[in-house]
Structure 1
Amino acid sequence: MPRVIECASAGEASLQESIDALAGAGFDPGDEDSLALGASILRRLANNRRFLGDLMIDCLRERHRHHEPASAYGPQAIVLGPLRNGSFLRANIWPSERDGCFRASGAHSFVYGMPHDHNFSFLTVGYFGPGYESDYYEYDYAATAGYVGETPGLRFVERSALGEGRMLLYRAHRDIHSQLPAASMSVSLNILHIDPGQGWFDQYGFDLESGAITGLLNPTSTEVFLRCAVGLGDAAAVDLAEDFGRHHPSDRMRLASYEARASLGGDEDGLWREAERSGSLMVAEEATARRRALERN
């Protein structure tokens, strides 16, 4: 499960002080000194019991006229400051089943009941309310190929809630959680660590009953561009897709190249047989599933 971070109360800080402190220090969850400093910054902000309510009231009063679009205010996630030095602050709102937004939008709109891991590490603390509950699991990302239906050996750890003051470090590619609605409206504060290359590392959804991967949760714009380029029928794009299918270092891009070429029609069975011999276990397993689907149809 996520690592519990013990960080004693150390006074409080304003939002701007916290943004500046984080920008100056950065946040590297793999470095114990940086983790300790980040925890102190987050704890001091969480000790400020007025800043988030004051911020929301100010936004409502001013109708967001004095806030830049980059501040990314949304129905659940509120980005509290810009990405600086590889990290930023965020608040998340977690409604209960009794709240109108939950009844109107459903559980999946708030990622409840959707088991998943993360391809980035982040530090979180319960700020308000009893907090969402989670069923926590762990798995071995390095030993996982990543194809739909694969069972990477999920290990159940516990069910617990992110109550007020509890601080956790969610570790990229290790911690899986299935979130359950909070008993009443709750808020968490996060420090997120962003690495420019993390988009190439997969984030998965899981089925807890079977322990299987249900899909990829972070498709990239590069995959979309490739599919569009091939779909437009340009010969150079098809040549590039063929090259990507054989040599690209990302299994996801190799699979996307075959999917793009399959969208053109032709000998799909032959194409997926080629993909089965690509040298990538993930691509081969996905190709076999597509070829069997063709046979059934």
Structure 2
Amino acid sequence: MPQIIDNPSDKSCSLLECIEALAQLEFDPRDAASTGQAAMWLRRLTNNRTFLADLLIDRLSGRVPHEVDSGYGPQAIVLSPLRRNMFLRANIWPAESDLCFRNSGAKSFVYGVPHDHNFSFLTSGYIGPGYRSDYYEYDYEDVAGYPGEPAPLRFVERSALHEGKIMLYRAHVDVHSQLPPESLSVSLNVMHVDPSQCWFDQYGFDLEKREVTRVLSPNATEAFLRVAVASGAEEALDFADWVGRTHPSERLRLASFEARAATLGGNEADELWRIAENTGSRLLEYIAGQRRAALMD
């Protein structure tokens, strides 16, 4: 499960102080000292009991001219722009009795959607009893990522992100299935941004079957690749060949073969999928076998 970080400090800081300190720190979740320092500043911001309310009132009243857009859904409030390799956000977690939950449903807030992350982040409970999670761990290298693939998930515990609790979610290690809190809650996050994180996939899981359900991390790179290949440009085809053979993202490697196969006839497509079967990728081997079988029908 995520690493619990004990930091009982009663000091507080402003949002701006926290942003500047974390930007200078260059938070690295793989380094214990760096993580400890980042957690200290997150604790200080968590101890500031008025900053978020002040910010929200400013936004609601129109006193703030520009709001940073969020790509994380309606519950996420981005608190800072990207600074070096991190940004801050707050997440609102409604309870089942809240109107927004009743109107939008559980999945709008990622409740009951077991998943890992392809990034690491620190989180703290800021308001309320906190969302609950069933926590699991797994070995990312053992999973290729195709739907129905067995996933060796190891259950750890169920616990809540209560006020003041600070945890480090580790990329490609920690899996959780979130449950609504007993009452409206808010968490704060220090998000670590690694330029290579889009090269590695994030998965959804079926906990009862212990299986992968799907890849949860599509991005513009895949769409750009498919469009470029569809143009038929030689450079695009060469680039797609390189991606299919060597890219660390299994999803992008598969997209490369799918895009090229879509432009080919039966025999040529079969030959391409035969190449995919022999790239050393378990995902490609599995999907290529299916595609070749379909071509023979």
TM-score by length of 2: 0.90
1:248 deviates by: 4.2
Q: Which amino acid aligns with 2:87?
A: F
Q: Distance in 1 between matches of 2:118 and 2:109?
A: 19
Match of 1:37 in 2: 37
Task: Check 1:3–1:246 CA distance in 2 against 1; reply closer, same or farther (3 A cut).
Answer: closer
How far is the alpha carbon of 1:231 from its aligned partner?
A: 2.5
| Offset at residue 151 of structure 1 (A) | 1.5
Aligned 8 A contact 1:200 1:250 in 2? yes
Q: Which position in structure 2 is the counterpart of 1:190?
A: 189
Counterpart of 2:279? 278
Bigger CA drift: 112-121 or 69-78? 69-78
The Cα offsets for residues 223-243 of structure 1, whole Å up to 9 and x where unpaired, read as: 211111222344553454345
Name the CA distance, whole Å, in 2 between partners of 1:29 and 1:243: 31
Q: What do residues 97-148 of structure 1 show as CA deviations (whole Å, max 9, x unaligned)? A: 2222222222111111111101111111110111111110000112323333
CA distance in 1, matches of 2:92, 2:243: 41
The residue number in structure 2 matching 1:140 is 139
2:149 maps to amino acid: E
What is the rounded CA distance, in whole Å, between the counterparts of 2:149 and 2:72 in structure 1? 36
Q: Distance in 2 between matches of 1:169 and 1:223?
A: 29
User: Contact (CA 8 Å) 1:248, 1:254: kept in 2 or not?
Assistant: yes
Distance 1:208 1:74, change over 3 A: closer
**Take 2:137 and 2:239, find their aligned partners in 1: how far apart are those partners?**
37
**Is 1:165 matched with 2:167?**
no
Cα distance in 1 for partners of 2:294, 2:148 equals 14
1:199 equivalenced with 2:174 (yes/no): no
2-side partners of 1:23 and 1:249: how far apart? 28
Secondary structure of the corresponding residue to residue 113 of structure 1: coil
Asked if the contact 1:71/1:80 (under 8 Å) is kept, the reply is no
Check conservation: 2:137, 2:155, Cα contact below 8 A.
Answer: yes
The TM-score, its normalising length taken from structure 1, stands at 0.90
Asked if 1 retains the 8 angstrom alpha-carbon contact of 2:200 and 2:250, the reply is no
Distance verdict in 2 for CA 1:249–1:202, change over 3 Å: closer
Alpha-carbon contact 1:147-1:283 (below 8 Å) kept: no
Residue segments in structure 1 that go unaligned for 5+ positions in a row: none
Q: Indicate how the Cα distance of structure 1 residues 157 and 224 shifts in structure 2: closer, same or farther if over 3 A, else same.
A: same
Identify if the C-alpha distance between structure 1 residues 102 and 293 changes in structure 2 by more than 3 Å, giving closer, same or farther: farther
CA–CA separation in structure 1 for the residues paired with 2:295 and 2:213:
20
Q: Structure 2 counterpart of 1:32, which letter?
A: A
What secondary structure does 1:202 align onto?
coil
SS of the residue 1:196 aligns to: coil
Q: 1:10 to 1:241 in 2, by over 3 A?
A: same
Aligned twin of 1:100: 99
Q: Which moved more, 1:222-231 or 1:159-168?
A: 222-231
Kept after mapping to 2: 8 A contact 1:276/1:285: yes
Correspondence 1:1-297 to 2 at 5 A: 1-62=1-62, 64=64, 66-69=65-68, 75-234=74-233, 236-264=235-263, 266-267=265-266, 268-292=269-293
Give % identity. Answer: 61
- Conserved 8 A contact 2:76-2:89: yes
Distance in 1 of aligned mates of 2:70 and 2:260? 39
Deviation at residue 250 of structure 1 after TM alignment: 4.1
